[in-house]
Structure 1
């Protein structure tokens, strides 16, 4: 099968036939996380394992995407039209449903290293078959488990008369995994690298671009070109906005930015855009919130509040749509270059993006090129735009095929002629963002596809080894990455933080896994390894649990993701705690200052009992008003002016769906609350009519004309939820 790669297939089952014939019936299948799964090919393999008990199929992956499905009739009525509209013809992964239902055949095993958030809290097999590991170790761990097949989604493009393939959304683990598998192949192991084409993927450049022979087999069937999985944008709460504002003050102009997905990622994006495009308003808001008064030293030392004159460079595990917004706002514009000397000269300000004659002297002085140019020197200069594309060297002379200029730049006259005819105008091949994978809403994919080729070439989709750590990567040296990632600010979200500075991001105290370690530990560790970098952990100060509110800043917890000795900066909606180089007493005091005031006293008592704070220690008065009502009141005038909308980057929900979502959520909480008198609720529903204002919402739920008694009861429930929640 694999002698002349790739072989092309129009049918996934035919491809599976040949894969099994080549590698045998014991298949250890590695799939990219998230978007990059070759769904139809994977389903064909799973189906074959279901039909053949003699076959063994082990699937290694992460973030298995599933279209949302409601558990109750009301949830299903709400979700089904939305899911059909948003996810189109996205094909479900058969193994995911079997895993969730407990129906996996005994010859099939699914192992994940990162769960879709909270997706498998109640699925024992998924909890048992979770691998806790840094993202950068996954390719290695997959090899240790005997991976012999990879199935990856890709897209293609024609360039210079050649067909190129792009791993697009997921070069992250695949690049390293395939390299390791080819080494095993050379040692005699039988493997198969399968690519499934989907032109709906944006063609991304950088290390994601491979030749067709990267794959052993290619499945190309237009009927398989499915709509990309596109999770909807979620609303950004007041707490999220406040966290984003606080975090935005910690980003250094001319530096490096890493952010993640979700409402907190959107919040910091909004904060950065406000800082850059509406700086006067931004400073006014910060002042109203007393952020400079209380945290001014942290801001001055770590970040700033001015606009981004130099711009930022992105080095991020996940390319989120926030980066596109930052790029369009002129914030993501600091380019980095794949050369240590050039990057150092840029960092030092000796050269800039616009090329001048002085650049030649600096390059010669730094040893980047020789004063008498050689062929290698000319290639170097042309690669980065120092000389025009059509000039080359021949017999000691520069020529464009017509003119000839001496390549000996020690002679002033030659140098002047060289600059007049050969010198370029702007640096070329710079990278604005390095990223490992992407996943986002449909508008994000559209934005990537709509970018020009030149714009997309400034985004280097690459290995997670490249992005998430400084060492052990074949794509760039540790020194180069250190130079590129100056003033790194690695901003990640967490669930909870202990008063010792330990961070909980992936699991619960009882051992249940919510998501995974992913790259968070990598970035925290890298922030300590780089000379001028900082790790910023964003955490909401509280969380609801039923009708109760719990603090996310705890005295202690039975599980941690980031140990206390890697503590750095923690941000809540109430402010900034700089924990680096601090004693236990100082760490606790700083975290108490950004804790919700409803929980400060009990945590203070815990610290005193443990003798970590003096018995006479008092939380300063300036931090004793950490209450949500105060923040809401301060932001209200700015909301009236159009700032801080619920969906700053748009939403896939209709107006009716947004209202229904809030109403049904309130109804669910009310009916599950232990203190709610359910008989009284039932009486209220029975006595309630059908207001005209409820009709658009009932039509959306297909409950405007109920036929059965069950539909009539659901109609009354929806009306009750709308009325009791104040929505109509």
Structure 2
């Protein structure tokens, strides 16, 4: 091992520090605990040292009341009980900032550093140590601090990328072996599993991923086993990517920036993860100002950013760093990646959170934010919000549409109250009375994918936020279609009428639609619905398909799905009234096994399907 002129054990800390100075402590799983302990033991007489850092996976002893005269914490991202409690009690401070901008705060002397206390691997034969599992803002702290003191830990992995520090950049060091702190993969509950499944639907083959911290990102990774050619450009990576890399799901081949490499700025997990990144040429670590730069993030096509939240209001404002007025975590890289993904070609910024607090007592989808709660991600940044009840698409939506989309993915027991509250704010009109409901018979994600004539379609329930889409669908119809569907010449689909057609109690009646994509816009191409008649336990069914999409099988698929749902609900009979001259629609019903009888009107035919029979072979 190459030697350094001085070791920390030989240096009087007074030669490096003085009372009132500011020091930086290494991040995440690379906290130099032995170095901090040595400072505490050998720094008698020093006091009022400002300690600044981001998340630290440590006992954070410097933030305990015992050392309040020696250290004053200024946290740039809150993590760990001692730091959180110190801030809540007023013994410490929190500085909100984007992770990508922290290095500049060091370089331009917004937060000048007198010393950086960091952990590194032993130097190689050329004198280079690696910052290992935490390059993030540590790299900038090493570059801009007046003094650099390192804990040389043989258990620190040597990671590739821009992670190296030469011993000539280090003013003093302490050799101390120390196991890195480990984060075991979390046990996933049903709610988290469902959120992960929904988020995975937003990830296409060839996408590049950023995943935040916590159970939800791990749940997402577990549902990507059937994806192909995924890439990683993420602030953090965890154990979840290992098996995806080994199976070839994550191969970084389709990335358009740092092609062929998984890129991160730090990692936290088990020893398995630390061994995985040790010397791995396929994983590279870069400083936060590079990895978290929104413009660099955007250079990845199909960039999907997945981050959590504490609370989201009905306009799309996201609270992520505080619970009311109590600061809990920090801004970190959320806004960096949300903005970068939004700028990416085909990118998707995603906020994912459970619909309620852990005890189920409060909705985390709220009409107005909890007093004191701070907006981290603005309503203008948000594209998708996901809970265990579905995906709300907010990009390009009005406040009214956003509110209805977010109510739809709130916990069912809070939807009525949310709708009543938001109506008082005039964000939705007085005639919007039906709170969103679900169609669980469509499966756990309430949608199915079909391909007709080479075009991929999504079958899903009609939703209150589809009011404008249904109007657009109506105005594509020609006069013949309107006559065949409504039996008279309808010339207008008012906002009130459209609202009534999309605001359906799906527990009783049913309204489904087939949609596809035109650019980033979702477009309705077909609608089917039935109305339940409790008098004889039957339902009356009708559907309409856009003229340009007929003859491709959409109508038959729609009718078969409605029949399956009616059977699952124990309905005994499906009926339909169709004009005699509407031969294409009559053919669809005939192919699905409906029996024709004369209608009440001379120009109508009544069609019936007895659902008490065995499953209709035509609908299998």
Which residue, 53, 78, 81 being the options, matches 1:61? 53
Partner SS for 2:51: strand
What residue in structure 2 maps to residue 512 of structure 1?
326
Shift in CA distance, 625/617, structure 1 to aligned 2, threshold 3 Å: farther
Q: Superposed, which structure 2 residues align to 1:484-563 within 5 Å?
A: 485-509=300-324, 511-545=325-359, 549-557=361-369, 558=371, 559=373, 560-563=375-378
Q: Does 1:250 align with 2:195?
A: no
Which position in structure 2 is the counterpart of 1:148?
A: 114
Q: 1:588 aligns with which of 403, 417, 442?
A: 403
> Could you give the per-residue CA deviations for residues 330-357 of structure 1, whole angstroms, max 9, x where no partner exists?
12102478xxxxx59xxxxxxxxxxxxx
TM superposition shift of 1:584: 0.5
Residue deviations 1:543-585 (CA, integer Å, cap 9, x gap): 234xx52211100113222121212100111111110011001
Contact 2:385 2:393 survives alignment (8 Å)? yes
What's the TM-score once normalised by structure 2's chain length? Answer: 0.66
User: In the alignment, does 2:62 pair up with 1:95?
Assistant: yes
**In 2, Cα distance between the equivalents of 1:324 and 1:22?**
41
Counterpart for residue 612 of structure 1: 427
Separation of aligned partners in 2, 1:505 and 1:322: 23
**1:22: Cα distance to partner?**
4.8
Distance in 2 between the 1:168 and 1:434 partners? 13
Using the alignment, how far apart are the partners of 1:240 and 1:552 within structure 2?
14
Per-residue deviation, 1:106: 2.4
What's the counterpart of residue 466 of structure 1? 290
The aligned counterpart of 2:23 is 29
Using the alignment, how far apart are the partners of 2:243 and 2:269 within structure 1?
13
* 1:469 CA displacement: 1.4
Q: Measure, in 2, the Cα distance between the counterparts of 1:23 and 1:119.
A: 24
More strand by share: 2
Give the alignment's TM-score, normalised by structure 1. Answer: 0.56
**Residues 144-293 of structure 1: pairs in structure 2 closer than 5 A:** 144-156=110-122, 158=124, 162-181=126-145, 191-220=146-175, 224-273=176-225, 276=226
Q: Which residue of 2 aligns with 1:432?
A: 261
What CA RMSD, in Å, does the superposition of the two structures yield over aligned residues? Answer: 2.9
Greater relative contact order structure (CA < 8 Å, 6+ sep): 1
The question of whether the paired residues in 2 share the 8 Å contact of 1:503 and 1:563 is answered with yes
**Residues 435 and 467 of structure 1 are in contact (CA less than 8 Å); yes or no, is this contact kept in structure 2?**
yes
Note the C-alpha offset of 1:95.
1.4
- Return closer, same or farther for 1:318/1:621 CA change in 2, 3 Å cut-off: closer
Instruction: Give distance in 2, aligned partners of 1:62 and 1:553.
Output: 28
Tell me, in whole angstroms, the C-alpha distance in 1 between the residues paired with 2:91 and 2:366: 25
Aligned residue-pair number: 439
Query: Which one is further off, 39-48 or 497-506?
Result: 39-48
Judge conservation of contact 2:209–2:304 (CA < 8 Å) in 1: yes
Q: Render the CA deviation track for 1:207-226: whole Å, top value 9, x for unaligned.
A: 00233223222322xxx201
Q: Name which of 40, 47, 54 aligns with 2:41.
A: 47
What are structure 1's unaligned runs of at least 5 residues?
Answer: 68-92, 182-190, 277-306, 338-342, 345-428, 472-477, 635-728
The CA distance in 1 between the partners of 2:90 and 2:283, in whole Å, is: 34
CA deviations over 1:592-650 (Å, ceiling 9, x no partner): 11111111000000111111111121447653779xxx969x9xxxxxxxxxxxxxxxx
Check whether the contact 2:386–2:392 (CA below 8 A) recurs between aligned residues: yes
Distance 2:91 2:190 in 1: 33
Point out the more displaced range, 261-270 or 19-28. 19-28
| Higher helix residue share | 1
Q: Distance in 2 between matches of 1:533 and 1:504?
A: 22
